[in-house]
Amino acid sequence: MQFLTSEIEAGRLRPGDRLKPERELAVELNVSRGSLREALKALEMLNVVELRHGLGVYVTLPQPQVLSRIFGTLISMQPSQSEDIMDARVALECHAVRLACRNATRRDIDRMRRALESLDMQAGESGSRNGEHGAEADHEFHSAIVESTGNATLVFLYSAITGLLKRGHHERWLSLFSIQDSWLALNDVHERILEAIAARDEDRAAAIMAEHFDVIAKILAKHQGQGRFASIAFRPRGPRQPG
């Protein structure tokens, strides 16, 4: 177990590599095949390794969505604060939008624009599934920004975080897109973010992104009383207690 993870982290085993047969590996590591299999199955659970029947054991490249599934199971077991998760998202996105200003290609910007157009269309209607589509388009816009950074780590963290938010607080998130006046405010801010990115003005982009999360926080706070998190200018919590 320890052996395999350290081998992988040291880079001696790389995604796609095939491990030696179980029987052989067990002899080398001086453990029984049963014990080795316990470790392999455990690593398979983490998606570090894939056991293919009749073929062998392969080192795999964990996909972000797989990671967020694991995260979901784990965090669903602890008293996670949605505000905490949301704050992590704010942190990632406010910096991501700066990197986007530097690295976004024309294609990236087109993708963001399409997402906003889709969001606009949803805003006109007010059907029952309105929130669903709006949330999707919103997510597409923000994903486009993060992915345009070209930073694999940020993308990875972001997808894990948003996966969590989606699963755990889906209803509350959707409700944001059912509140009438939120559309106007959000769409305006979105447009200005895109504008700033296109102008490669990262200070402005970051400032508007921060403002964006403030707007969300305020809308949620106003309409739900509890749906608040600590974004940049919004401070629902007092100082922590010593301890």
Partner DNA sequence: GGTCCTTTAGTGGTCTGATCACTTTGAAAC
Partner DNA sequence: GTTTCAAAGTGATCAGACCACTAAAGGACC
SS3 57: strand
Which of 96, 112, 145, 219 is close enough to bind a copy of itself by CB under 8 A? 96
- Is 18 a binder of a copy of itself (CB under 8 A)? no
Distance CA(193)–CA(79), nearest Å, equals 34
Distance CA(1)–CA(27), nearest Å, equals 14
Draw the binding track, 47-86, toward a copy of itself (x: CB under 8 A; -: no contact): xx------------xx----x--xx-xxxxxxxxx--xx-
| Closest to 183 measured CA to CA, from 142, 110, 122 | 122
Residue 55 binding result from DNA, a copy of itself, none, given CB thresholds of 5 to 8 Å by partner type: DNA
Residues contributing to the site for DNA (CB under 7 A): 19, 21-24, 30-35, 37-38, 40, 51-57
Residue 23 binding result from a copy of itself, DNA, none, given CB thresholds of 5 to 8 Å by partner type: DNA
Sort 138 into a burial class: Cβ within 10 Å, 0-12 / 13-18 / 19+.
Answer: buried
Residues of this chain, 118-147, that bind a copy of itself according to CB under 8 A: none
How is residue 195 written in tokens?
């504008």
- Is 92 a binder of a copy of itself (CB under 8 A)? yes
Distance CA(126)–CA(28), nearest Å, equals 65
| Closest to 58 measured CA to CA, from 21, 29, 24 | 21
Using the contact rule CB under 8 A, the part of the chain among 19-27, 41-49, 129-137, 175-183 near a copy of itself is: 41-49
Residue 57 binding result from DNA, a copy of itself, none, given CB thresholds of 5 to 8 Å by partner type: DNA
